[in-house]
């Protein structure tokens, strides 16, 4: 098999899709430029303050800019969020109180949230330790939201509905904005006071709107994923209703400090610039996703999303079927990474995950999944999850090596 020829043919077939993604970049970039202009973003916003971080003009302006772009009342973009999981946990702890119920409506949450909720682990101050109840609506046999069950699922103590936009380590379809809007409407019809919270990781700038624009009360995510444009060195965000954002910020810092504290350590320019670059980087990742899907589909593998299907996030999954293929795929991708190409990925335990994982990610920012990376849990059916990429040509080069690595396994 001529792997390079297969990839080139797929790339040619995808040219109309690539062109439509370029138009999507223009749409989002226009919004960002309009917002930067409205808030008069200037060089003065790139400076930083030390210590407590009081009166950081750049941080305060970035919060307002990001809120507008997300369609939210308020936002808190902070380098102190160490991950998307940390931002999500801060939001949950900030909003929920003992006796409240959290209802997950899109099946099980992502692995790293299990200990936060209290589904795994003991004694570390999980939501369960604080008397917060958890309930879950499982997906239908077809891997879809159980809309019938959701229509009667909100109880008097259901304080928060948890919506995970991305598929996580599952095979379900990631949620589109119209799905999220339907969830919000279904919940609010039962209790208008129930908070609709969206884990927005991997979804930013993939569609024309973000969850707050369709009624979500609060969202959270990571700045070393989509919105950081591959150059933000750390951080995450919460955005949504003013009071809920402040509640999450009080959990990150302390009551009485909330969103008014937190030095930005001279990172303001990178956060602004990363946000400006984000639509281009997300589109590059989506082009790579389409290329991976089409090539592996033609090779006979089951992929999710399937070729030609509009994307809902930046994740592309492939059922490889064996631990050997999963490991070989990640090793090949690591070999064609710009950083630490000499590292040999091996399955290992990772903090926050139940199963052993194998990960490939030779990225300039450690853990950045807006740069090209791949990972997967060592459990049947041995799915590799690919995400990120600064240009589809890098994906093509790594893809060629990955296909050759698994060809005889």
pLDDT tens-place string over residues 355-406: 789 999 999 999 999 999 999 999 999 999 999 999 999 999 999 999 999 9
Q: Which of 24-33, 136-145, 183-192 has the lowest average pLDDT?
A: 136-145
282-324 tens-digit pLDDT = 999 999 999 999 999 999 999 999 999 999 999 999 999 999 9
Identify the CA nearest to 4 among candidates 289, 242, 291. Answer: 291
Tell me what pLDDT residue 29 has: 98
Mean per-residue pLDDT over the chain, rounded: 95
Tell me what pLDDT residue 349 has: 84
* Range list of H helices, 39-176: 57-70, 84-95, 114-117, 147-150
Confidence (pTM)? 0.96
Q: Is 123 exposed, middle or buried (0-12, 13-18, 19+ CB in 10 A)?
A: exposed
Evaluated on CA atoms 387, 392, 397, 400, the torsion sign reads: positive
> How is domain 42-266 classified at the architecture level of CATH?
3-Layer(aba) Sandwich (3.40)
* Range list of H helices, 299-322: none
Q: Which of 109-118, 193-202, 241-250, 347-356 has the lowest average pLDDT?
A: 347-356
The distance of Cα 184 from the centroid of its chain, to the nearest Å, equals 19
Q: Which of 105-119, 126-140, 148-162, 181-195 has the lowest average pLDDT?
A: 105-119
Whether 156 has a pLDDT exceeding 70, the answer reads: yes
The C-alpha R_g of the chain, in whole angstroms, comes to 21
Residue 72, helix vs strand vs coil: coil
Q: Which of 29-43, 162-176, 271-285 has the lowest average pLDDT?
A: 162-176
Phi-psi category of residue 39: left, alpha or beta, with phi > 0 → left and psi -120 to 50 → alpha: alpha
Q: Which residues of 93-120 are buried (b: 16+ CB within 10 A; e: fewer)?
A: bbbbeeebbbbbbbbbbbbbbbbbbbbe
- The pair of structure tokens assigned to 74 is 């308020």
For residues 218 and 194, give the distance between their C-alpha atoms in angstroms, rounded to a whole number: 11
Q: Which of 72-81, 121-130, 400-409 has the lowest average pLDDT?
A: 121-130
Tell me what pLDDT residue 329 has: 97
Whether 60 has a pLDDT exceeding 70, the answer reads: yes
Q: Which of 1-5, 98-102, 120-124, 129-133 has the lowest average pLDDT?
A: 120-124
76-102 tens-digit pLDDT = 999 999 999 999 999 999 999 999 999
Q: What is the pLDDT confidence band of residue 352, given thresholds at 50, 70 and 90? A: low
Domain boundaries, the chain: 3-27+275-406, 42-266
CATH assignment of 3-27+275-406, given 1.10.1740.10, 3.90.1150.60, 3.20.20.150, 3.40.50.300?
Answer: 3.90.1150.60
Q: What is the pLDDT confidence band of residue 121, given thresholds at 50, 70 and 90? A: confident
């Amino acid at each position: 098999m001529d792997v390079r020829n297969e990839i080139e043919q797929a790339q040619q077939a995808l040219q109309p899709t690539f062109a439509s993604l370029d138009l999507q970049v223009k749409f989002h970039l226009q919004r960002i430029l309009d917002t930067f202009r409205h808030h008069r973003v200037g060089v003065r916003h790139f400076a930083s303050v030390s210590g407590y971080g009081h009166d950081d003009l750049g941080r305060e302006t970035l919060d307002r800019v990001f809120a507008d772009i997300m369609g939210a009342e308020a936002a808190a973009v902070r380098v102190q969020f160490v991950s998307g999981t940390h931002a999500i946990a801060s939001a949950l702890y900030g909003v929920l109180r003992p006796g409240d119920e959290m209802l997950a409506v899109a099946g099980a949450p992502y692995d790293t949230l299990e200990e936060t909720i209290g589904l795994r682990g003991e004694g570390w101050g999980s939501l369960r330790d604080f008397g917060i109840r958890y309930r879950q609506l499982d997906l239908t046999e077809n891997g879809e939201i159980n809309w019938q069950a959701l229509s009667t699922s909100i109880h008097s103590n259901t304080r928060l509905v948890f919506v995970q936009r991305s598929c996580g380590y599952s095979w379900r379809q990631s949620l589109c904005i119209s799905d999220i809007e339907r969830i919000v409407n279904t919940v609010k019809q039962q209790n208008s006071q129930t908070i609709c919270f969206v884990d927005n990781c991997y979804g930013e700038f993939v569609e024309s709107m973000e969850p707050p624009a369709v009624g979500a009360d609060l969202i959270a995510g990571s700045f070393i994923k989509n919105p950081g444009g591959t150059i933000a060195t750390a951080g995450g965000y919460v955005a949504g209703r003013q009071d809920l954002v402040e509640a999450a910020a009080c959990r990150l810092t302390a009551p009485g400090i909330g969103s008014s504290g937190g030095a930005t350590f001279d990172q303001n320019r990178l956060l602004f610039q990363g946000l400006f670059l984000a639509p281009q980087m997300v589109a590059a990742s989506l082009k790579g996703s389409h290329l991976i899907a089409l090539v592996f589909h033609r090779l006979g593998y089951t992929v999710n999303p399937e070729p030609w299907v509009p994307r809902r996030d930046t994740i592309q999954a492939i059922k490889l079927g064996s631990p050997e293929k999963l490991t070989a795929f990640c090793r090949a991708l690591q070999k064609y990474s710009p950083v630490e190409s000499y590292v040999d990925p091996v399955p290992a335990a990772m903090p926050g995950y139940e199963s052993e994982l194998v990960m490939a990610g030779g990225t300039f920012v450690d853990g950045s999944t807006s740069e090209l990376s791949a990972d997967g849990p060592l459990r049947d059916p041995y799915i590799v999850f690919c995400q990120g990429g600064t240009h589809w040509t890098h994906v093509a080069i790594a893809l060629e090596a990955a296909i050759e690595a698994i060809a005889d396994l």
